């Protein structure tokens, strides 16, 4: 029995693992995708925020003149809202880990703590009217002493941002095990050093945008906006407003980049809800670029001591990390300091390790989550240590790394911070990189260049990135839910709780489902980002889109496929349903095209004549399944350690630079990268992720820094003063992939969302220092902008 011609099994190519194009890519490149700012709800009012001019002050806000301006509907202040609305929910709460309580309001009630902090919200019929009226809001300041430097903020007499804390330390802690001091005392050598990273900022193509619409008839709130986590945000909005969760709908339209910045916890997310409730009409707020740049990341100092033996093995590392968080926020960004310390000592075997970390508040804008969520601190530290050990012992930097890496046969490997690394072949990464980069030939070229007065350097960066986080007490989980349903015509719909920040994970999930059901990609559609339609999920954070969303979609698709095989076996008169193959739109017996039926025919039969063709099969082709990472551990072990990460992607990067010692300019000549994120569902998307990560890393290493003057005013307010890498700054990347499947995921995936940033920062720092070594110069602060390079040369021997 046959309907049409089915291809033989051997002729088919699986979709998963193929570099197919984005299913909706044409809509993006032709401008047909609708972002939040493209929404046009009838009667939408517009919000403009009035911002603080000073870094620290008591305030009173006079809105009387603004209220008289044409088109103005209302002007909200922290004091006007305080009687009805309390603090916003925290994405993560520092209190359970010994931190300070955070009380962040949608608008400050009586005190500002950084320049640019919103103090009032003007709502008008048009954006122009709101902008005009905002100029008439009068803010009266009673200035207070301010502090911008975290070391100064730790002083006993430092001004306090939050008086009830009694200090400016939001959170402090220690990770690691063993006795680093005792290990150092019995080692052959000891290294001391300091690393600093400047303040970075998230730079998505699309800034934040929020629109809330209160329907007084149904008593439901609909929120549209740039969020990575619709379901967690719905829960938080409902809690904040005192509504039932079912009475809040969150819709995330396509997003123009996130990088962690668009996770929930921003005051404006709740502010538009408050205003929409009060006005009973849609209210929209769109962020400008200067406001985006007020949110920071990195901005830390690490003092470290490392010890080693004569054979180049690192015996201990002890470090003290002070992170400049800026003002407090509800985004959970403080967790970047914890994640960065926990990611140490990377994929190296360091028997005695300790990191003390402190998250300090100052009168800068608040931290925001930013990929790779603080893990660059651990990578920079360990890669700096490895190069320092190489210099001290006279060994090659590559050989030092080989001697200290976790070996293939040691996985799963538990680090001294308690993380269980799932799998890897770190020496294999290096071997692949060296097939691209002729290391010996470069060293010869470097010698010749130095004789000519040119300063070339080669730097190595290696990273192991904890991914797939599940944080106790927070709506950040290593599990997710997907629904897969097939209609009577054979069309397939996937509904998933993960969202896409624009990286193509939706297409990759469609590939997984299409493969398992044996249908073409154009038979599959996917729905994400709507809490009224999609099953509960944690969105896209911690590289979890394919880990958990792909995993749950695969399980649900397998359920539907099993039913298709059962029905197909009955219709093809085969006793063993396991003999049925789903491929290229057909159900066939052992792949035989002469014993085949179109999948659409089988689906239609189940829905219409199921009692005849398959009376024992439930007459629906739909499944909802949850995938949960099984290697998460929240119960503390004997040393008080938990296991909050589930997979560990890794990579090694080799950077070649030339430093102009007269100008301090660093040119990148080559950048070789080999990365291992386990099984790749779509290699094109993985390469795109790492390419973007590398560019982020180049910016953090060489050009990007948010600067402030002494009065806390931000000097970096746009792309003339916050310097992103240009196309001419970026070399052609030489990319290789290694596949070491994770044993803990059904697809063998590890996560690819955060790779490239930290490794590139480390390889470029080491490359610059390698170039400067003949001058006796080195730098220990990023970004390596020209004036820092020149200062280092001036401190060396020229």
pLDDT at residue 23 is higher than 50? yes
Tell me what percent of the residues of the chain surpass a pLDDT of 90. Answer: 95
Tokens read off for 229: 């986590």
Tokens read off for 282: 């849609």
Asked whether the bond before 218 is cis by omega within 30 degrees of 0, the reply is: no
User: What residue has token string 């789903």?
Assistant: 582
613: buried, middle or exposed (CB in 10 Å: 19+, 13-18, 0-12)?
middle
Cβ atoms 505, 540 nearer than 8 A: yes
pLDDT of residue 16: 87
Residues 467-522: pLDDT tens digits?
999 999 999 999 999 999 999 999 999 999 999 988 899 999 999 999 999 999 99
Residues 684-701: pLDDT tens digits?
999 999 999 999 999 999
pLDDT of residue 335: 96
CB atoms within 10 A of CB 474: 18
Contacts of 120 (CB under 8 A, 6+ apart): 49, 50, 61, 63, 66, 75, 76, 77, 107, 134, 137, 139
Contacts of 722 (CB under 8 A, 6+ apart): 201, 203, 293, 704, 705, 706, 716
- d(CA 76, CA 184) in angstroms, rounded, equals 58
436: buried, middle or exposed (CB in 10 Å: 19+, 13-18, 0-12)?
middle
- d(CA 408, CA 388) in angstroms, rounded, equals 25
Cβ atoms 77, 61 nearer than 8 A: yes
3-state secondary structure of 542: coil
> Over 705-767, what HEC string results?
CCCECCCCCECCCCCCCCCCCCHHHCCCCEEEECCCCCCCCCCCECCCCCCCHHHHHHHHHHH
HSE-CB at 480 with a 13 A cutoff on CA atoms is 35
88-111 burial string, b = 16+ CB within 10 Å, else e?
bbbbbbbeeeebbebebbbbbeeb
- d(CA 615, CA 565) in angstroms, rounded, equals 14
Residues 265-310: pLDDT tens digits?
999 999 999 999 999 999 999 999 999 999 999 999 999 999 999 9
**First and final C-alpha spacing in the chain:** 85
CB atoms within 10 A of CB 160: 16
pLDDT of residue 502: 85
- d(CA 36, CA 254) in angstroms, rounded, equals 8
Helix (H) or strand (E) run with residue 315 in it: strand 314-326
Strands 352-361 and 169-177: antiparallel
The runs of H, that is alpha helices, within 97-143 are: 127-134
Residues 219-255: pLDDT tens digits?
999 999 999 999 999 999 999 999 999 999 999 999 9
Helix (H) or strand (E) run with residue 82 in it: helix 78-82
3-state secondary structure of 170: strand
Contacts of 392 (CB under 8 A, 6+ apart): 189, 191, 308
pLDDT of residue 122: 98
Give the distance from CA 489 to its chain's centroid: 39
Cβ atoms 474, 528 nearer than 8 A: no
- d(CA 387, CA 403) in angstroms, rounded, equals 13
pLDDT of residue 2: 45
pLDDT of residue 1: 43
pLDDT of residue 15: 86
3-state secondary structure of 112: strand
Tokens read off for 494: 């996937």
Tokens read off for 368: 């925001």
Contacts of 579 (CB under 8 A, 6+ apart): 569, 589, 590
Residues 518-569: pLDDT tens digits?
999 999 999 999 999 999 999 999 999 999 999 999 999 999 999 999 999 9
Set out the domains of the chain in order of their start, with CATH numbers: 25-33+479-625 (3.30.365.10), 36-144+204-292 (3.90.1170.50), 297-471+635-797 (3.30.365.10)
Q: How many residues appear in the chain?
A: 798
Give the distance from CA 264 to its chain's centroid: 13
Is the CA virtual torsion 477, 94, 346, 774 positive or negative? positive
pLDDT of residue 509: 97
152: buried, middle or exposed (CB in 10 Å: 19+, 13-18, 0-12)?
middle
pLDDT of residue 798: 45
């Amino acid at each position: 029995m046959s309907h049409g011609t089915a291809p033989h099994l051997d002729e088919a190519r699986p979709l998963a693992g193929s570099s197919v194009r984005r299913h909706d890519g044409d809509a993006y490149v032709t401008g047909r995708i609708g972002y939040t700012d493209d929404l046009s709800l009838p009667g939408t009012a517009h919000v403009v925020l009035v911002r603080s001019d000073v870094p620290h002050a008591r305030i009173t806000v006079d809105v009387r003149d603004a209220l008289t301006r044409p088109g103005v509907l209302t002007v909200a202040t922290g004091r006007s809202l305080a009687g009805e609305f309390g603090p916003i929910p925290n994405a993560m709460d520092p209190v359970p880990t010994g931190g300070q309580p955070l009380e962040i309001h949608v608008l400050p009630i009586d005190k500002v703590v950084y320049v640019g902090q919103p103090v009032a919200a003007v709502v008008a019929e048009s954006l122009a009217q709101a902008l005009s009226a905002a100029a008439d809001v009068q803010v009266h300041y009673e200035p207070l002493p301010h502090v911008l430097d975290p070391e100064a903020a730790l002083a006993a007499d430092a001004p306090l941002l939050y008086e009830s804390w009694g200090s400016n330390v939001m959170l402090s802690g220690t990770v690691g095990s063993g006795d680093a001091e005792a290990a150092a005392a019995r080692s052959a050598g000891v290294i001391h050093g300091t690393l600093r990273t400047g303040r970075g900022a998230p730079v998505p193509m699309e800034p934040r945008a929020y629109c809330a619409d209160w329907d007084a008839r149904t008593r439901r709130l609909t929120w549209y906006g740039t969020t990575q986590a619709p379901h967690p945000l719905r829960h938080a909005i409902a809690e904040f407003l005192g509504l039932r969760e079912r009475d809040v709908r969150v819709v995330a339209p396509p997003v123009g980049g996130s990088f962690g910045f668009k996770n929930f916890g921003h005051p404006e997310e709740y502010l538009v809800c408050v205003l929409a409730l009060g006005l009973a009409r849609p209210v929209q707020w769109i962020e400008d670029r200067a406001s985006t740049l007020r949110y920071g990341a990195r901005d830390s100092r690490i003092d470290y001591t490392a010890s080693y033996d004569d054979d180049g093995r690192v015996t201990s590392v002890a470090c003290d990390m002070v992170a400049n968080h800026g003002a407090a926020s509800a985004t959970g960004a403080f967790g970047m300091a914890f994640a960065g310390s926990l990611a140490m000592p990377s994929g190296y075997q360091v028997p005695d390790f300790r990191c003390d970390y402190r998250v300090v508040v100052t009168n800068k804008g608040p931290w925001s989550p930013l990929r790779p969520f603080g893990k660059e601190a651990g990578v920079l530290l360990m890669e700096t240590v490895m190069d320092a050990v190489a210099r001290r012992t006279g060994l090659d930097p590559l050989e030092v790394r080989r001697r200290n890496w976790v070996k293939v046969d040691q996985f799963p490997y538990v680090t001294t911070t308690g993380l269980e690394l799932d799998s890897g072949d770190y020496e294999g990464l290096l071997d692949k990189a060296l097939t691209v980069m002729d290391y010996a030939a470069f060293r010869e070229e470097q010698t010749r260049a130095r004789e000519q007065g040119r300063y070339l350097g080669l730097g190595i960066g290696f990273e192991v990135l904890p991914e797939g986080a599940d944080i106790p007490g927070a709506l950040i989980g290593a599990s997710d839910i997907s629904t897969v349903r097939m209609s009577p015509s054979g069309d397939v719909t996937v509904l998933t709780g993960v969202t896409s920040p624009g990286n193509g994970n939706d297409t990759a999930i469609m590939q997984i489902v299409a493969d398992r059901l044996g249908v073409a990609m154009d038979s599959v559609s996917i729905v994400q980002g709507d809490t009224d339609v999609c099953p509960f999920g944690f969105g896209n954070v911690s590289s979890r889109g394919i880990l958990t969303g792909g995993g749950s979609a695969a399980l649900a698709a397998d359920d539907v496929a099993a039913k298709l095989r059962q029905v197909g076996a009955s219709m093809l008169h085969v006793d063993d349903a396991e003999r049925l193959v789903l491929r290229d739109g057909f159900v066939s017996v052992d792949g035989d095209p002469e014993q085949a039926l179109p999948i659409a025919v089988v689906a239609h039969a189940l829905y219409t004549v199921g009692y005849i063709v398959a009376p024992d099969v439930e007459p629906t082709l739909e499944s909802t399944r949850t995938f949960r990472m099984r290697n998460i551990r929240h119960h503390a072990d004997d040393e008080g350690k938990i296991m909050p990460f589930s997979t560990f992607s890794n990579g090694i990067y080799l950077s070649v630079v030339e430093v102009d010692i007269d100008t301090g300019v660093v040119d990148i000549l080559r950048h070789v990268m080999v990365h291992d994120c386990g099984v790749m569902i779509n290699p094109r998307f993985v390469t795109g992720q790492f390419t973007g990560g590398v560019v982020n890393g180049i910016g953090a290493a060489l050009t990007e820094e948010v600067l402030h003057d002494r009065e806390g005013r931000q000097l970096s307010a746009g792309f003339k003063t916050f310097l992103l890498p240009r196309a001419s700054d970026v070399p052609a990347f030489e990319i290789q992939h290694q596949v070491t499947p994770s044993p803990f995921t059904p697809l063998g995936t590890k996560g690819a969302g955060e790779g490239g940033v930290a490794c590139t920062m480390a390889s470029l720092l080491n490359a610059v220092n390698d170039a400067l070594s003949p001058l006796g110069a080195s730098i220990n602060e990023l970004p390596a902008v020209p004036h820092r390079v020149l200062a280092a040369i001036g401190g060396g021997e020229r």
